[in-house]
Amino acid sequence: MNFTDYPDSNPPPPGGRLLTDTDIVEMLRRAGAPPPQSCDDIVFGVLGRSSEQCTAPARWIEARSSISFLRALINHLVWLRPKSEVQRGQLQDRTVEGTIFDGCTMALKGIAMILGGIEDELEWLTDDLPTPYDPPSRVERRARLISNYERAICKLTETQAVLNELAAEAGEMPLKDFVFDVERADPQHLGLIHKLYEQITADTTLSKASSAVKFIALAMKEIGWKYPPNPKAIEQVLLRERKRRKRALGDATSSVSLDS
């Protein structure tokens, strides 16, 4: 298939690999997912058509984006899931405070290095005054570089201040990170995977024998989750998550109506 596989932000898990958009399409095939109406080339054909050639361009774009988002989500969950109880215990000891502080420290070191390089370059440019013999293009490029460097110094300095404040605040609010179970699926993430499945296929059928449940089982296998242990249990989790999403949507709608 001719899918464009966008890069993931996380590295492959040890001894594993990252899924591609094509892998997601193959998983949909194996689950028996129905093709979306008026755009069956998205899931079951070679993606050789452009959005203009599809009878429903908006549907084409939505399904294509959802496939890529679903692939990135599953890859991220594979990367997050601890591979043993020992590793889970080590991760559980980490705090949000430590994570934020470490991240801010690394970012501040990087900014300091960049600022140092920019300041050296700016000093050289300001000392290297143009001569009457310089071509206009060189004079314009020099002026443009000086302007860009000065603007970058201003923005990076502001960012430094924000990161220092964030690190200080994190030190006052130590919180425990949520750590995934080694083998038990997180219900809300299963619900999100199912929601993306529905966006891609327009298939809202939900039973223990449905394609949706089969696809979720395949996704769980890729992530490394073993519980819920059977199709019926998966169906019950997805039904609860669907009700929770509808209830949250209803509450949000009611809130908007009251405010307006």
The model's pLDDT over 196-211, given as tens digits with 9 standing for 90+, comes to 999 888 899 999 999 9
DSSP 8-class letter at 209: T
Sequence-separated (6 or more) residues with CB below 8 Å from residue 37: 56, 59, 202
What pTM does this model have? 0.59
List, in sequence order, every residue forming a beta bridge with 176; answer none if it has no partner: 95
Distance CA 167, CA 147 (A): 31
119 or 210: whose pLDDT is higher?
Answer: 210
Distance, CA of 191 to CA of 49 (rounded, Å): 31
CA angle 72, 69, 207 (to 5 degrees): 100
The pair of structure tokens assigned to 259 is 């405010």
Task: Average the pLDDT over 16-38 and give the result.
Answer: 83
% of the chain beyond a pLDDT of 90:
25
Q: What is the pLDDT of residue 48?
A: 40
Q: What is the pLDDT of residue 254?
A: 60
pLDDT of the residue at 214? 97
Question: Rounded to an integer, what is the distance from CA 252 to the centroid of its chain?
Answer: 24
Report how far residue 20's alpha carbon sits from residue 33's, in angstroms, rounded to the nearest whole number: 18
In this prediction, residue 233 carries a pLDDT of 96
Is the preceding omega at residue 228 within 30 degrees of 0, hence cis? yes
The residue with greater pLDDT, 159 or 136, is: 159
Residue type, 82: P
Is pLDDT above 90 for 180? no
Residue 218: predicted pLDDT:
97
- Cβ within 8 Å of residue 203, ≥6 positions away: 33, 34, 197, 210, 211, 212
